[in-house]
Amino acid sequence: NKMIEKIISKIILLFAVIAAAAILLMVAATMWDITARSLFNRPLHGVIEFVELCFFTSVMAGLPLIFIDDAHIRVDVIDKFLTSKKLQILKKIGLILTSLFTSIVLIFSVKPIVDAYRFGDMKYELGVNLYFFYCLGWIALMICFVCTFFRFMKLNKSEDQ
């Protein structure tokens, strides 16, 4: 169990680096486009599509980091009114619903990913195939699902002790 968590942590670190690199590239491309447009009146070809792909990559690659750290945005309106046992139950329900939603997205995104591969969906200005980016997103969601499962198991383990 510890070995699996260590492997997942390394994969999530890799995804965090990918997300950070995508943000850096997105900012650099935007700055270069603005500079080229201002100084030389020559905007970069395909920069909008490039920024779209970088944005998608940064969001999808960053999701596992949020899931492993349990850093979701929460509203603690009712937490102070619940006993610790009821709060644990509420957290379990939230994790089950998160797992359910993530698994539905994973299942129903397979066909569009396969179709993107079969039909060669691409960003036309850049000539970049979208299949790779869809696979990256799918893998990131799978890691989120696994992180949710481990979070649920830890919650159960802490309750048993």
The distance in angstroms from the start CA to the end CA of the chain is 18
Report the alpha-carbon distance of residue 153 to residue 147 in Å, rounded: 10
Tens-digit pLDDT profile for the chain (161 aa)? 788 889 988 999 999 999 999 999 999 999 999 999 999 988 888 999 999 999 999 999 999 998 888 777 776 778 778 888 888 888 899 899 999 999 999 999 999 999 999 999 999 999 999 999 999 999 999 999 999 988 888 888 876 66
- The answer to whether the CB of 102 falls within 8 A of the CB of 145 is yes
C-alpha span between 92 and 151 (Å, rounded): 9
